[in-house]
Structure 1
Amino acid sequence: MVARSSPDSPHHDPAATEAAKASGPGRPKDLAKRAAILEAAKQMFTRHGFDGASMDQIASAAGVSKLTVYSHFGDKETLFGAAVKSHCETGLPTSLFEARPDIPLRERLLAVARAFYGMITSPEAIAGHRMLCTPQLAGSPLSRLFWEAGPERVQNAFGTLLERRIASGELDIEPSPEAIHRAGTQFCVLLKGEPHAMLVFGCGDVGPADIEAHLAASVDMFLRAYATDRSGTPRSSR
């Protein structure tokens, strides 16, 4: 929870109190309304920032009452975290990290790379990145909420994929949580590279062909560092 309170805090809004009473343990929620609220939240946070987006705006954009928003998410901070998680799950679905030994390692990593880059360069992700770097939010509990809902979730899922490929003998990475995490973060940093920084700073966009070349080169650099002869990766990529 963010320490500072806001007009949308449940302590200031009677709607939140009523929602808490109406939403008892085990009470079923309308999944279609939840999805609509999450989509509206992404749009409002992208357009207005965290402080500028109100629960009233989000409720209106979702076509529901503010009471319904509070009933599903409790407060704006929790809704923000859920919106970040939803964005990551949509951009990087769980299926990308499933055990698929039939798919060659390089092909698998390229699929993850394309999905990851598409997710972090979407308008919502760029706006969120800029928002969290502002003096008002940098270092706040909201930053931790974002980290846990987004990057940490992605790293954990990718770490599971690396573990499987280490066990199959395709990757030469020490099978410890620390080493696997380090390799995973190195992979993500390689994928971001200069093109992502240019987008964040508003220095222009990079064309699709150059992006594909950047991602392929990043995957190949990762494989040169960690792939074994059993990975099936061409020597030119190692």
Structure 2
Amino acid sequence: MDVAIKKGRKFDQVLEGAREVFLKEGFEGASVDDIAKAAGVSKATLYSYFPDKRLLFAEVARVECERQADQVMVLIGTDIPADQALRMAGERIMCFLTSQLGITVLTLCAAESKRFPELGKQFYESGPGLVSERLTRYLTEAVEAGQLKIDNIPLAADQFAELCKTRIFARILTGVQTEFSDTERQEIVEGAVDLFMARYGA
């Protein structure tokens, strides 16, 4: 998996087509033919950018994780109460984790990370690692603004992210459950915010 990605004029086009197919078919069901067709490129062009389907999937996942994280930072800030900001962040984490792409990323990385360590490393850096970095940035600002009282901010950021995965993470990883109702998602996020604010509210 440690292969350099070649950028070019149709790179973004290929990524968008791949994202569309991966969301619809999952990793195993997504064929190179279907991805090339959705992207409007030839198979030769696709392979010139991504010689391995796992590499393409990892890049789609990385871009999507960054997009979700950027949206969180746009939504949250110290101009709104901390519990409201955390609820928005929690909803974004939950939205991605329970999406078709999020579930596919998680299960694929769990299955393939031993054979392809670079895949697991890239997922961590663009997924959980990025979420932790963005939450740490927000929590630092919230502490400085007097909204929260936290001694170990990086630890608190990881704690909040883990609270947002309560119950669903193990169920997704083991294939026990792959669809979650709005009520289930809201219950978990609300519980995460309540527990976090009870511990760290100023």
Q: How does 1:87-236 map to 2 (within 5 A)?
A: 87-90=64-67, 92-98=68-74, 100-134=77-111, 136-138=112-114, 140-174=117-151, 179-204=152-177, 205-228=179-202
Question: Structure 1, residues 80-136: CA drift from partner, whole Å, max 9, x if none?
Answer: 33211222234x2524214633211111100111111010011222122222222x4
More displaced, 123-132 or 214-223?
Answer: 123-132
More displaced, 108-117 or 61-70?
Answer: 61-70
Give distance in 1, aligned partners of 2:175 and 2:149.
38
Question: Structure 1, residues 172-192: CA drift from partner, whole Å, max 9, x if none?
Answer: 123xxxx32211111111111
Aligned length: 199
TM-score w.r.t. the length of structure 1 is 0.70
One-letter amino acid of the counterpart of residue 120, structure 1: L
Question: Structure 1, residues 142-177: CA drift from partner, whole Å, max 9, x if none?
Answer: 111211222212221121111111111212123xxx
CA contact (8 A) 2:87 2:193 kept: yes
Give distance in 2, aligned partners of 1:42 and 1:64.
16
SS in 1 for 2:78: coil
Give distance in 1, aligned partners of 2:162 and 2:188.
12
Which structure would you say has the larger Rg? 1
SS in 1 for 2:165: helix
Distance apart, 1:71 and its partner CA: 4.8
TM-score w.r.t. the length of structure 2 is 0.80
One-letter amino acid of the counterpart of residue 138, structure 1: K
SS in 2 for 1:133: helix
> Aligned Cα RMSD in Å?
3.1
Give distance in 2, aligned partners of 1:56 and 1:168.
52
Distance apart, 1:77 and its partner CA: 4.8
